[in-house]
């Protein structure tokens, strides 16, 4: 059941990411919704699930990226981030808001370092002063990730309250 939920989250993130990219100036968004979905899956399901979700999501995102992306670099970066975040989530208590905030920020920074580092190491592309873009993306991913966690965690309570409100009162 968790695998289906992870696939739905990744598919929804991919659909939103590709849809929103055309409405933002320059054709790219400062938020990586797919990375947010991978971090969410990793924190809730563990290292192996995070790695698998990162691989699948990254490869699909690379394939949808067009000719400017090398297929596999995003998948590798997201799978490493998914594994590390999942391992951290299993070893430490990452259920409060502040630890999750730091995990989202650090995971976004590590993903950018891996992604851009692989492109530079292979001599495929250079990035001039990416620090502002990485900081903006880390902030955006953190806000979206925190909202996503709050929304998903409040959902079971909403269903329970709705079910109880339908009961006839005696």
Encode pLDDT of 8-42 as tens digits. 999 999 998 888 766 665 555 678 999 999 999 99
Measuring CA to CA, how many Å separate 16 from each of 11, 36, 37, 77, 128?
9, 12, 11, 20, 28
Measuring CA to CA, how many Å separate 105 from each of 6, 54, 64, 137, 140?
21, 17, 25, 9, 9
Q: Does the structure show a pLDDT above 80 at 159? A: no
Each domain of the chain, given as residue ranges in start order, spans 2-165
Encode pLDDT of 93-105 as tens digits. 898 999 999 999 9
pTM, full prediction:
0.87
Encode pLDDT of 111-134 as tens digits. 999 999 999 999 888 888 788 889
Question: What is 2-165's CATH number?
Answer: 1.10.1760
Q: Does the structure show a pLDDT above 70 at 88? A: yes
Nearest to 32 by CA among 58, 50, 2: 58
Nearest to 112 by CA among 133, 126, 140: 133
In angstroms, the first-to-last Cα distance of the chain is 37
Encode pLDDT of 35-67 as tens digits. 999 999 999 999 999 999 999 999 999 998 776
Q: Does the structure show a pLDDT above 80 at 69? A: no
């Amino acid at each position: 059941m968790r695998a289906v939920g992870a696939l739905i989250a990744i598919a929804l993130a991919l659909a939103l990411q590709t849809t929103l990219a055309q409405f933002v100036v320059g054709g790219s968004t400062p938020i990586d919704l797919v990375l947010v979905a991978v971090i969410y899956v990793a924190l809730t399901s563990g290292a192996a699930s995070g790695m698998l979700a990162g691989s699948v999501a990254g490869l699909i995102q690379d394939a949808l990226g067009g000719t400017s992306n090398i297929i596999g670099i995003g998948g590798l970066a997201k799978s490493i981030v998914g594994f590390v975040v999942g391992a951290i989530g299993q070893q430490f208590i990452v259920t409060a808001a502040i630890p999750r905030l730091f995990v989202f920020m650090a995971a976004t920074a590590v993903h950018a370092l891996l992604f851009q580092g692989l492109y530079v190491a292979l001599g495929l592309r250079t990035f001039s002063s990416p620090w502002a873009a990485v900081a903006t993306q880390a902030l955006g991913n953190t806000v979206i990730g925190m909202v996503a966690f709050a929304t998903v965690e409040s959902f079971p309570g909403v269903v329970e309250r709705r079910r109880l409100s339908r009961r006839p009162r005696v």
